Homo-oligomer: A and B are copies of this chain.
Amino acid sequence: MESLAGEGVLEDEKQQVNEELLLKQITDLVINQRLLSGKANAEDRVVKFVHPEELKGLVELSLGGSSLNHVQILELCKQAVEYSVKTNHPKFLNQLYHACDPVGLAGAWLSDALNTNLYTFEVAPFFMMVEYAILAHLRGFIGWEDGDGIFAPGGSISNMYGIVLARYKKFPEVKSKGMSGIGELVAFTSQEGHYSIAKAAHWMGLGTDNLIIVASDSSGKMIPAELENKIVKALEQKKLPFFVNATSGTTVLGAYDPLEPLAFVCKKYDVWLHVDAAWGGGALVSHKYRFLMDGMELVDSVTWNLHKMLGAPLQCSAFLTKHKDILHRCNSASATYLFQTDKFYDTRYDTGDKSVQCGRKVDAFKLWLMWKARGDRGLEEMVDNAFECAEYFSRQIAQRSEFRLVLSEPNCTNVCFWYIPHQLSNCQESPEWWEQISKVAPAIKKRMVEKGSLMIGYQPLPHKNLVNFFRLVIPCQPRPTHEDMDFVIDEIERLGCDL
């Protein structure tokens, strides 16, 4: 009987998924494979790269009629880990996101398990109150005692909230009448602004031609006088300026637009000023670096992606506005099956109608939990360390002839630079030479990914006439060190020495 029982267990594993066991195994997999921020070993690879067509041969991707058993499901999870990029690796310095805070992850797991949808107090009592609390705390860093906000599924959609509110404030009839009768609305963003503003201009019915591009200075900051010129010109052409997108921490150069003078211009012409602080917003928690966003309290709305610099789990994008009631007035549709007025509790907490979504994931809780665990001071210390590492990295490569900084000092925690191979140093810097340089970053990138030792992004910046250069993005999670910075420099030299 004993052995039969044993076989029974084995049979079970082969027959069907034991769901509680699977969750425990996932937990063990995450821990044992060192997937948590700060846990990767030096000898781990950032990525085990396999080409798309190869991956199709390695993993049974297709779906069909019958079910898989427990062992097979666990095997697929292991394959997911094996062939995924390790964003928690200290050498994943590729994008504006990275590892997530493990306490935030615990929060995400718990709210995922509760499978809560955030639109009325009735269905999400705890999480609704948490969203209120964390949004109020974030507004405090901006310097607003009042106002409103909402979590959106990413910065692009947060930015859309800004455009839609700006349009509604100036032309409330747009909600019912649409764009066709109002006239030629125009919005403004800098050359360095995120491409989501262009996508939004299309979606919102504005059209990308009506998104007017404002020049930036050599460090990537929008030039307030240029903005004013463009607004004046638009007014002369009988166009209707309604929205300016400034950026705190541009995607490539990490530039912080000068908010005070931009706010002055926007106020003068009665135009809504939105700040896309998706990346650079983290500076707000630092006493040392918040000067980068001086004037923040003067703007109308802000996008702040907490999943970027502060390391909340993806997606965690706060949209914030200083205007208290506009989110609801602008977006409400008062669906009677959700937002009944004859409920037995205080329905002011049924905030779902502020959203353009119906169902909405709980993004607030994971952020709130990690903030509780770190405190303002813990997050500040992380941000200060990341900025300090960027400064250290810049100083180090400034001293080496094989490297050249795109900007002499980093704006934010992204550092942009070229690697100049030996055979190209001491040559005349002709267009042909730059053409050669443009091929260096892609070649080194290929090698680093195939080796799995490092991931750093590269890109050109055509409007600044800059060919492909590396953009190192220094995260808060996992906590970077000077050693990590030195490794990056040495590894690029190793990978590029024979180019």
Q: B252 touching A63 by the CB < 8 A rule? A: no
For A77, list chain B residues within 8 Å (CB): 106-107, 110, 369
Q: Which of A191-199, A426-434, A486-494 contacts B (4 or more CB under 8 A)?
A: A191-199
For A86, list chain B residues within 8 Å (CB): 114
Binary CB contact string for chain A from 70 to 102 against chain B (1 if under 8 A, 0 otherwise): 001100110111011111100000110111101
Q: B205 touching A67 by the CB < 8 A rule? A: no
Q: B123 touching A177 by the CB < 8 A rule? A: no
Q: A17 touching B373 by the CB < 8 A rule? A: yes
Q: B359 touching A84 by the CB < 8 A rule? A: no
Q: B113 touching A203 by the CB < 8 A rule? A: no
Q: In the complex where A114-B87, A373-B17 touch, is A73 in contact with B108 (Cβ < 8 A)?
A: no
Q: B178 touching A207 by the CB < 8 A rule? A: yes
Q: Is A378 part of the binding interface, using a Cβ–Cβ cutoff of 8 Å? A: yes
Q: Is A180 part of the binding interface, using a Cβ–Cβ cutoff of 8 Å? A: yes
For A252, list chain B residues within 8 Å (CB): 337
Q: Is A156 part of the binding interface, using a Cβ–Cβ cutoff of 8 Å? A: yes
CA distance A205 to B177 in the complex (A): 8
Q: In the complex where A178-B206, A357-B153 touch, is A344 in contact with B117 (Cβ < 8 A)?
A: no
Q: B203 touching A203 by the CB < 8 A rule? A: yes
Q: A205 touching B208 by the CB < 8 A rule? A: no
Q: A442 touching B342 by the CB < 8 A rule? A: yes
Q: In the complex where A27-B23, A206-B178, A336-B462 touch, is A133 in contact with B61 (Cβ < 8 A)?
A: yes
Q: In the complex where A66-B375, A80-B127, A314-B117 touch, is A23 in contact with B102 (Cβ < 8 A)?
A: yes
Q: A114 touching B81 by the CB < 8 A rule? A: yes
Binary CB contact string for chain A from 169 to 193 against chain B (1 if under 8 A, 0 otherwise): 0000011111110111100000000
Report the minimal beta-carbon distance from A241 to chain B, rounded to whole angstroms.
Answer: 14
Interface size class of A (residues with CB under 8 A): 35 or more
Q: B97 touching A115 by the CB < 8 A rule? A: yes
Interface residues of A in 227-284 (CB under 8 A from B): 251-252
Q: B87 touching A115 by the CB < 8 A rule? A: yes
Interface residues of A in 16-62 (CB under 8 A from B): 17, 19-20, 22-24, 26-27, 29-31, 35-36, 47, 49-53, 55-56, 59, 61-62
Interface residues of A in 379-418 (CB under 8 A from B): none
Q: Is A146 part of the binding interface, using a Cβ–Cβ cutoff of 8 Å? A: no
Q: Is A483 part of the binding interface, using a Cβ–Cβ cutoff of 8 Å? A: no
Report the minimal beta-carbon distance from A335 to chain B, rounded to whole angstroms.
Answer: 4
CA distance A19 to B455 in the complex (A): 26
Query: A106: which of B26, B134, B315, B344 is its contact (CB, 8 Å)?
Result: B26
Q: Is A495 part of the binding interface, using a Cβ–Cβ cutoff of 8 Å? A: no
Q: B110 touching A315 by the CB < 8 A rule? A: no
Query: A31: which of B20, B103, B376 is its contact (CB, 8 Å)?
Result: B20
Q: A103 touching B359 by the CB < 8 A rule? A: no
Q: B81 touching A357 by the CB < 8 A rule? A: no
7 interchain residue pairs of minimum CB distance:
A205-B205, A178-B207, A153-B153, A19-B102, A179-B205, A67-B375, A61-B133
Give 9 pairs: A residue, B residue, CB < 8 Å, sorted on A.
A23-B106, A27-B109, A85-B116, A164-B202, A174-B207, A180-B185, A340-B442, A340-B459, A344-B442
